[in-house]
Structure 1
Amino acid sequence: MAGPDGDRLSDSREASLGVDLAQILTTHFVRLERALEVLPDQDLWWRPHADCLSVGTILLHLEGNLRQWVLAGLGGMEDERQRAREFDGQPAGNSIELLGRLADTQNQAAALIAAIPEQDLQQQRTIQGFEVSTQDAILHVVEHFSWHVGQAVWIAKARAGEAHGLAFYDDDQLG
């Protein structure tokens, strides 16, 4: 079954919540890729004001969050996140480098999420100092990713101008 934004959501007989949420995470990553395609290169580190994030900072932050919450928190990898560095405001690469690193992390995270057995979803974990179930951790990651992708898309639309061509829904797929 396809979701309203083209996500290929599973039939409950075929797959799990993890598979569906991994697909949603991947769909949001594709939206982020599209936003970076229209964002002028010089605007990667632009931000509306000092209390807002740049797209570059968002890319660093999403990679750090996925590594900490999914790869370390759910997958058992070493948690080496240095969260403060994600927000120090210093340009730390170009969009190709940052998106490539995030793509690798997102692919690993989506695969791990999709492989979690349903019976493990209520297992309790401590991630970033929070006591959460596996399911709550996954929901947090997908929601958090979506939130920041929306910010990046807004910046890309604002900086690219009226001909940006970005939309949440692919109108050709809507009935």
Structure 2
Amino acid sequence: MQTGAAFLAQSREYLTGHYLPKIRAAVERLSEEDTWWRPNEASNSVGNLMLHLAGNIRQWIVSGVGGVPDVRDRSAEFARRDPLPRDELVAILTEAVLEADAVLARTDPAGLNDRRAVQGRTVTTLQAIYHAVEHFGMHAGQILYIAKLRTERDLGFYRLEAGIPRPVWPGHPGGGA
């Protein structure tokens, strides 16, 4: 597999096979109240982070790479205080990730150096995808941390076998359903 094609395949795998399933599993363990809990006004709730991830991935990949008009309202992602139910948040985020995955599936690796405008910046297609995936991973980690903090439990995404951590999160080969 060529480098560009491998980059696109791995980006899709991280979004759909690693980050999204872990976020879903973590959110399932939270109460509705804990989904919108925030330690202080300078910090985000899991709900706000999920809305933010959906907005960001749509802006950077669906719009920036895929060419769909950008309708993002970034400040609304963080300002929301009237809680949406967890299942609605999961549906919003899942839909955004699947839209991004469809764009990545049809992205030509030969165009990874093409320039495009996202958030008022000129970036390459590769930079837009790389940013969106690393940004998603950063906030996924925050969501998982909050879930562990609020439930006081390990999320159980890895099992040690002969001292080697093996992935067992839902949707991962060898993981749960």
The alignment's TM-score, normalised by the length of structure 1, stands at 0.85
**In 1, Cα distance between the equivalents of 2:11 and 2:144?**
20
Gap regions ≥5 residues in structure 2: 168-177
- Match 2:134 to one of 122, 125, 143: 143
Q: Larger relative CO (CA 8 A, sep 6+): 1 or 2?
A: 1
- Is residue 119 from structure 1 mapped to residue 110 from structure 2 by the alignment? yes
User: Contact 2:36/2:83 (CA < 8 Å) preserved in 1?
Assistant: no
**In 2, Cα distance between the equivalents of 1:156 and 1:21?**
24
Q: Which residue of 2 aligns with 1:166?
A: 155
SS of alignment partner, residue 122 of structure 1: coil
SS of alignment partner, residue 158 of structure 2: coil
Q: Which residue of 1 aligns with 2:65?
A: 74
Shift of 1:167: 4.2
Tell me which amino acid in the other structure corresponds to 1:21.
S
Q: Percent identity?
A: 36
**In 2, Cα distance between the equivalents of 1:12 and 1:77?**
27
- Is residue 102 from structure 1 mapped to residue 93 from structure 2 by the alignment? yes
**In 1, Cα distance between the equivalents of 2:8 and 2:42?**
34
Shift of 1:113: 1.4
CA displacement 1:95-122 (0-9 Å, x = unmatched):
1001101101101101211321111000
Shift of 1:12: 5.0
CA displacement 1:47-85 (0-9 Å, x = unmatched):
111111100100110111011111111111111111111
**Residues 1:94 and 1:20: Cα distance change in structure 2 (over 3 Å):** same
- Is residue 24 from structure 1 mapped to residue 14 from structure 2 by the alignment? yes
Q: Cα RMSD over matched residues?
A: 1.9
SS of alignment partner, residue 117 of structure 2: strand
Gap regions ≥5 residues in structure 1: 1-10
SS of alignment partner, residue 50 of structure 1: coil
